[in-house]
Amino acid sequence: MAENDMPGGTGDAPPAVDQGAPAEAVPTKRATAELKAILEALICASPGPLTPRTVSRLLASEPKENVLEAL
pLDDT of 1-51, one tens digit each? Answer: 555 555 555 555 555 555 555 555 566 777 889 999 999 999 999 999 999
Residue with more model confidence, 68 or 27: 68
Q: Give the pLDDT of residue 7.
A: 56
| pTM of the predicted protein model | 0.56
Domain ranges of the chain: 26-71
Exposed/middle/buried for residue 70 (C-beta within 10 Å: 0-12, 13-18, 19+): buried
